[in-house]
Chain A
Amino acid sequence: MKINFRHRHSAHCESGVSSNLLFHYGVDISEAMAFGIGGGIFFGYLPFLKVNKLPITTFRCEVGGIFKRLTKKLEVGVYWEKFRNPKKAMDALDHCLEEGIPVACRTGGYWLPYFPSAFRFHFNMHNLVVYGKEGDEYLISDPVFQEPVKCDKKYLLKARFAKGALAPKGTMYYLTSVPEKIDFAPAIIKGIKEACRRMLKTPVPIIGVKGIRFLANRIEKWPKKLGKRKAILHLVQLIRMQEELGTGGGGFRFMYAAFLQEAAGILKENRLLDLSGKMTSAGDRWREFAVIGSRNCKNRATESDSFEAMADILRDCANREAEVYQELMEVIN
């Protein structure tokens, strides 16, 4: 069985899955718009939450948050289910496919055989859409791949029940109803307000703009506090979170900039264009940070590529982003 599902290549899995699912039901929405309305932009340095025994840094909101907020704001009906029993999870998926429903699944990317080995590591928050089945092979629209892919049942099952931090537990979700007409403007405004509030006003030092500054202070101390080997390991983890899960360099910042540009047209608010440019500049600085980080990880850093230099870039990123969110609040209010 094969559902006529249009695969659209995206920069990030959850925002790609969200926009592709909506597109399937006739809502013409870009990935950037889905990301922006879903309030995807975020920063959090989470030393208490670890993958491979190293702290997690996130450049986007919590897993599932983009989809949940987006569908809520657009008044789209959604069904979610988690499973304990893998057989039941696969049977439920098959049942939906038979009903002609494309189903999004949360998976551990490490187990998906179509991921190139150089880009494969344990990460349990990868979203994809299953849109068909041929024998024991599932037809998958994995938005971060250019073309649709196929995956054998045993690997999809392993991916859906990957173990470790933030285990997906067979999570699947799909759309149940979509309004005939959607007004994007109020959803955009709410999405921007939420994102700004989170980035500027979360009363926790490791979240938002404060979190970026917090990480800058930490990074500066890593070589002394952790020793060189461990400092590099922490850095590798951070750069991987930024590069692979953050869609590369300042990926989420670039995506938010694209959202603001699109929003400027819909809201007829030219000031958003200027802020889109500023957000792109912040993304460029994040990319510079990643480059210096990668040089340290690969033992090719020069004197100017120090941990202090990285901390300074992070502080600059924080300042640039703070300015964007503050101005956005003024524009939206």
Chain B
Amino acid sequence: MTLKEKLKKLIVETLHLEDITPEEIEDGEMLFGERLGLDSIDAVEIVFQVEHHFGVGIKNMKEGRPALQSINTLAAFIEARL
């Protein structure tokens, strides 16, 4: 499983997204756009899970905002720090 696939699975499972499967999330789509319906409260869980699973911390929203744009940006953020 690629990093992007892992992230999609993680997001769907930990955020309990019911109307979408990991495969349906597009790499470049906005995580906090209307389709996925995520908000800043969900961002807290994503940040926690990224640190827990990949050992990569996002210490503040300065790092967080650009990293949490899409699966592409999040994967790039993690890869740059692994």
Residues of A that sit less than 8 Å from B by CB: 9-12, 116, 118-119, 144-146, 236, 239-240, 243-244, 247-249, 251, 254-255, 283, 287-288, 290-291, 293-295, 297-300
Cross-chain contact A239 with B39 (CB below 8 angstroms): no
> Contact at B48–A291, with CB atoms within 8 Å?
yes
Whether a CB of chain A sits under 8 angstroms from the CB of B15 is: yes
Contact of A240 among B14, B38, B40, B66 (CB under 8 A): B40
**When the two chains form their complex, are residues A243 and B59 in contact, meaning their CB atoms are under 8 A apart?**
no
Highest count of chain A CB atoms <10 Å: which of B15, B16, B33, B62: B62
A239 in contact with B44 given A118-B38, A300-B15, A300-B16 (CB within 8 Å) = yes
Q: How far is the CA of A236 from the CA of B59 in the complex (A)?
A: 21
Instruction: List the 9 closest pairs (A to B, CB-CB), nearest first.
Output: A118-B32, A11-B60, A11-B62, A294-B44, A291-B48, A248-B61, A247-B60, A251-B60, A294-B41
Main secondary structure of the interface of A (DSSP, over half): helix
**Chain B contacts with A in 40-74, Cβ cutoff 8 A:** 40-45, 47-48, 58-62, 64-66
Q: In the complex, what residue of chain A is closest to B61 when comparing beta carbons? A: A248
Given A247-B62, A249-B59, A294-B41, 5 extra CB contacts under 8 A? A243-B41, A243-B43, A243-B61, A247-B60, A293-B44
A255 to chain B, nearest CB (A): 7
Of the candidates B16, B42, B48, the one having the most CB atoms from chain A within 10 angstroms of its own CB is B48
Partner among A11, A12, A145, A287 whose Cβ is within 8 Å of the Cβ of B48 = A287
B33 to chain A: which residues have CB within 8 Å?
118
Complex Cα gap A236–B39 (Å): 12
